[in-house]
Structure 1
Amino acid sequence: MAEAVQFTIASETIRATLTPLGAEMVRLEGGGRDLQWDGDPAVWNGRAPLLFPIVGALAGGRYRLGDETFALPRHGFARRSLFEVVEQGARRAAFRLAASEATRAVYPFDFALVVTYAVEGAALSVDVSIENHGAGPMPASFGFHPAFRWPLPFRQGRADHAIRFEHEEPEPIRRLDADGCLTPRGIPSPVVGRTLALRDELFAEDAIVFDRPASRRVVYGAPGAPAIAVSFPAMPHLGIWSKGGGAGFICIEPWQGYADPVGFTGTLFEKPGIVVVAPGEKHACGMRIELLPQFG
């Protein structure tokens, strides 16, 4: 698919470049500096993909509805779909993806996914509405996957960067197996108090999965420099990922849902983390990214 046109929304402090292809934010600038990973295909070509109608991988790459099975790639199809632009202004833009013959072949539900970006001051908000236009209940998940530069462009070293959680996070974290499925045993949290010191070894086994985080806000950065706050009040799970080996990005990923547990054989309705949207109803979630003057 040819790359879709890009356009920007901006406040006095931040600027976001958006594309209808995946309704993705492809550049985020704050204070005149690039804060977002550039999508270098030699490392990882993502920037801030949107995950729908699943988050993570399916066991065996397939899911079940009654007696039928369907295949979906990891994180679903929205990130590779062309959205309709339904609003485009100086500070706000909205995109819509509706069910089609192609989506019904792999996800047999009449949905609409509406994603709205807006900037105000030093903050960018991303609001999502998952709409069920069908006659029966609809199972769905949604996730954000923004990649920020590691290190941020404020002259602090890569090893100085950390993620500070809103609350202490003593609960065990989860990891992924070689197929991207959630392993059954939790392992001790790498968060010390409220701080996760970032180092490449954390991501030797893919993402860190907080399936029961206490926090709904984290701050990323290094002492003595501006930082980025990510808030996700209606998102119950969080993934943190980098490719390892010195990759120049860190992904802070609020999720509704996560990968299938290893050996999962239930239906999509039974998948952990799924939400079920009633006919004619909507499920709302969102994320807010804010540039802060200091890490803390």
Structure 2
Amino acid sequence: MDVDKPIVFMFSGQGSQYYQMGRALYDGHPVFRHWMDTLDRSCLAIGGYSVTRELYDERQPAGKYFDRLEYTHPAIFMLEYALANVFMELGLHPQYVLGTSLGEYAACAVAGALDYETALASVIVQAEMIRTECEPGGMTAVLAPYSLYYDEPVFHTNTELASVNYDTHFVVAGGEAGLTAVEQYLRGREITFQRLPVPYGFHSRWIEAARMPYARHLGSVTLHSPRMKVVSGCRGEQENLDAEFLWEAVREPLFFRSAIKALKPEKSKIYIDLGPSGTLANFMKQNKYLGLATEDIYPVITPFSKEMTGMERIVARIAAEQKERPWL
């Protein structure tokens, strides 16, 4: 399908996952199922366990926390990479990929900077290094101006700023005691917050202990020149990727607004959120000062939507703009 506007594929990371994510597509779309099963066989060969068996276990309702890192890390990558292939099979190819956190791995794989087996192996090894080397902790999203982090000592003495997603939404990471202190402060001032389903303090010093063990794995990883423009949640636009980037993607703080600016939003584009929850699409819409056209921002799946219907509606709307009718 020829599309006049450049397409941006967006990939989110830890905190966006849940049991049964992508289940309707797995049951009803052959391309999605093919890639999920292909990646699951690789996961079985590398780690010795099946992700799809855990993810789509009928005994696990969608509302239950899905937070075991050995499963959630590969599951997020698998879903995002499989969903990207669904769209590319339909002729919708990106000119840009935007990744945040673990989503950087899916972005690199789609861009051709990593083959999917290497990307998946790196995700699995990273999860194991963090599980064995780092103290448990977590991440808490706060619905308030991010200046609060700098203004109130309870934040910067107990946690680190993990991400700023828009003016009134930021995330802090830390150990259990520090997060509890922050949440008590927020509760006392009736500020909305949410503990994310993440058992470690990503994008903070609380995962620093995994750096050196993971570096030994990254020493064997080579990134190639990407086939399209890569925009990183922590580095902005990237041309020459290196293995250190794969560590920084989960260790350094994220500034989503800067990533959007790197996409030059004043020029019309189509933004397709291929994450499990549509969080990046929502963040883009909330950055209102950038003047993005909300009708060009598409979440594909969320915990509350009909996945097949949502995907077909997106393709149909894009096709309508181009006066074409692709086969679904």
What is the TM-score normalised by the length of structure 1?
0.29
Higher relative contact order (CA 8 A, sep 6+): 2
TM-score when scaled to structure 2? 0.27
Structure in which a larger fraction of residues adopt helix = 2
> Which is richer in strand?
1
